[in-house]
Amino acid sequence: MSLLDRKSILVPIDFSEASLAALHEALSLAESPAQVHAVHVLADLKSEAEYIREAMSLNEREERARALLTDKLAAAGADAVDAIICVGSAGEEITRVGRELGCDLIVMPTHGRQGVSRLLLGSVAERVLRLAHCPVLVTRGPAEAG
């Protein structure tokens, strides 16, 4: 199976310019936008006190994220792309969703963090590469290109 013969492609969206560029890359590889699934992972707040500080319940957070993701997909001309919201650790949730949907490619950007920020924040792309059940196409973010 070549890179162009993908039946189902997963694209993690964090609303950055780089993730929207990865969405366009996935759409260019898919025969139809219906073959593309966009996933946004909300961080899992560990306690009710954190929800109160945030002044928003998990359901409200999910609803807002779904509305924003749907708007971003529509603005990108990708209304047919499946919008998925989940909660947890980004790398684990991205690979879990990809496995459950039977995706045969994950297209995602790297934000190119280096040094201390990479050590402190980790690398979602690296985590997905380690956990993925299928090939992962890592694209360079706009700030990295050139």
- pLDDT at residue 12, as a whole number: 97
Mean pLDDT on 39-50: 78
What's the whole-number mean pLDDT along residues 14-27? 93
What is the set of domains in the chain, with CATH numbers?
A: 3-140 (3.40.50.620)
Q: E strand or H helix at 54, and its extent?
A: helix 48-54
Residue 74 CA to residue 108 CA, distance in Å, equals: 19
Is 135 a residue whose pLDDT tops 70? yes
Q: Say if residue 14's pLDDT is above 60.
A: yes
Lowest mean pLDDT among 51-55, 73-77, 79-83, 117-121: 117-121
Give burial (CB, 10 Å; 0-12/13-18/19+) of 49.
exposed
Q: pTM of the full predicted structure?
A: 0.83
Length of the chain: 146
pLDDT of the residue at 120: 42
In terms of pLDDT, which residue wins out, 19 or 116? 19
Comparison of pLDDT for 12 and 54, the residue scoring more: 12
pLDDT tens digits, residue range 67-95? 999 999 999 889 999 999 999 999 999 99
- The residue that leads in pLDDT, 78 or 59, is 78
